[in-house]
Amino acid sequence: MKHKLLLFSLLLLSCVSASAQVQLAEQQPGTLFAYPVAPDTCSNLESRCNYIITHFWDNFDISKPIADDAAFEQTFRDFVNFFRYSHRNIALGTVRDLVNKAQSNTTNLQKLGAVAERALYGSQAEFWSDEVYVVFARTLAAAKQLPKQVRDHYATQLSQINSVRVGEPLDFEYVGADGLKHRLSELPEATTYILLFIDDSIDSSVGRLRLSTDVSLNSLLAGGDAKLLCVCLNKYSADWARAAAGYAADWMVGCSASLASVLDLRTMPCCYLLDDERKVLNKTLTVEGLITAVNPNY
């Protein structure tokens, strides 16, 4: 919370005095250095953020060893939080510059990749951005100085990200509770398609209960405006089919053990939202995120 208040304060510099700006520029506990302060000539939110991220790392040499990993991660998370309000091209440019400089120190490059993964891609990321994260993943996947297993890790992520792109149609094969093969493209017509991916190794009962009892979602399903397909990431078995029969009556169910390594499923349970042409609207929704999406007043 302290860091969020700091970031918010930095965005309101036009409303504070010069002396207060100096105080804001002082180094905060848990960070590596004092963050830059946008000058008065930056008159709006975007220009202030553009200035801050452009000069964010000016006083830090990423080619030298990182002594405090926790402070580095907090500093990096603060850095990317400004991306929400900055210009896309400037944000991507600052990321390319940072990762290029980090390549001179193999240890730091690997640390930067791990931090970027947690902050931009992983299930605990506060700011999911495939476009920004791909810059890091692509560099680390191609960095010959890194161990092969590290390069392969990022190459796999790149493949999964590219397999599902927002705005593009999605289709895949799965086995239904009837034991027969089906395709996503064969589902009955609807305005919205909801895909719920669950993993038997991770308890999804609470998430399934939340969805099955949500009034707004049930109204959409009952009216035919939406279709929900629950896909279990396991092989078909008679035991699974019997268990799937206990899911909500208006859900369609299926299973596929291969999708876990193909699709972008970075959190479990993972929800996708598709439009009437089965084009991806969102692929990183949690159960709570999906409930918020279908409840305008949530």
pLDDT tens digits for 270-285? 999 999 999 999 998 8
pLDDT of residue 14 exceeding 70: no
The reported pLDDT for the residue numbered 27 is 61
Going by C-alpha positions, the residue among 54, 21, 20 that lies closest to residue 37 is 21
Strands 226-232 and 192-198: parallel
pLDDT of residue 293 exceeding 70: yes
Sheet-wide strand order for 252-255? 181-183, 173-176, 252-255, 226-232, 192-198, 270-274, 280-285
Q: Mean of the pLDDT values across residues 18-22?
A: 38
> Are the C-beta atoms of residues 279 and 167 closer than 8 Å to each other?
yes
The reported pLDDT for the residue numbered 125 is 83
pLDDT of residue 196 exceeding 50: yes
Beta bridge partners of 280: 274
Give residue-wise pLDDT tens across range 39-60. 989 989 999 999 999 999 998 9
The reported pLDDT for the residue numbered 128 is 83
pTM: 0.77
Please give the structure tokens belonging to residue 90.
Answer: 């400037």
Tell me the C-alpha distance between 165 and 256, whole Å.
20
Tell me the percentage of the chain whose pLDDT exceeds 70.
Answer: 89
Give residue-wise pLDDT tens across range 211-265. 999 999 999 999 999 999 999 999 999 999 999 998 998 999 999 999 998 899 9
Q: Please, what are the domains in the chain?
A: 2-163 (no CATH), 173-294 (3.40.30.10)
Tell me the C-alpha distance between 159 and 154, whole Å.
9
pLDDT of residue 123 exceeding 80: no
> Are the C-beta atoms of residues 272 and 195 closer than 8 Å to each other?
yes
Residue 290: CB atoms within 10 Å: 25
Q: Mean of the pLDDT values across residues 114-129?
A: 88
- Separation of first and last alpha carbons in the chain: 23
pLDDT band at 201 (very low <50, low <70, confident <90, very high): confident
Please give the structure tokens belonging to residue 38.
Answer: 């946008």
